[in-house]
Structure 1
């Protein structure tokens, strides 16, 4: 299991154990993280799992590319560290990952 922390726009946080090999979005949905609607079910087409990767982790995860970047073009509160949680696969290298749920416009 991989330890993940989601921080809400109001500063409150929720930590959880995520299953390696699954997406960050799946962990958020499984643990009822507010602000992660996951309307498309992880197909990278809706942007409702938009998160901001903590700067300490941004280099490890890199920037969004391809379809993810195109979907994020329509997101509100877009930042250089914006990612879709459905496109981040949880693995042991991400143990301790911190992400912030993007605030709705």
Structure 2
């Protein structure tokens, strides 16, 4: 199992456990993480699963593809250098302990 910590804009924390191989978005939705809307279900056609990935984790992820970078332009909160779409982050054992921050809004 992979441990993930979500930090909401109000600084509340939700810790979850997830299976390797699933997306961060799917793990968040399954655990009812408040702040991950995932309107498109992970098809990379919305930006409602926007997260900011804390260091050192951001360096362990593959770079975002062009479609992800483009979709982040439509995020409700402005994208930051560490912004990613959680539907595009595949959980691996190396990401155990991952910490992500949630934007103030997804819509």
Relative to the length of structure 2, the TM-score reads 0.92
Relative to the length of structure 1, the TM-score reads 0.94
CA distance in 2, matches of 1:63, 1:102: 20
The alignment's C-alpha RMSD in Å is: 1.2
CA distance in 1, matches of 2:82, 2:63: 7
Aligned match of 2:52: 52
Alpha-carbon shift at residue 62 of structure 1 (Å): 4.7
Which stretches of structure 1, 4 residues or longer, exceed 4 Å deviation after superposition?
none
**Structure 1 unaligned blocks of 5 or more:** none
**Structure 2 unaligned blocks of 5 or more:** none
CA distance in 1, matches of 2:26, 2:58: 20
Pairs aligned (count): 105
CA distance in 2, matches of 1:39, 1:56: 28
Question: Contact 1:58/1:81 (CA < 8 Å) preserved in 2?
Answer: yes
Aligned match of 1:20: 20
Aligned match of 1:67: 67
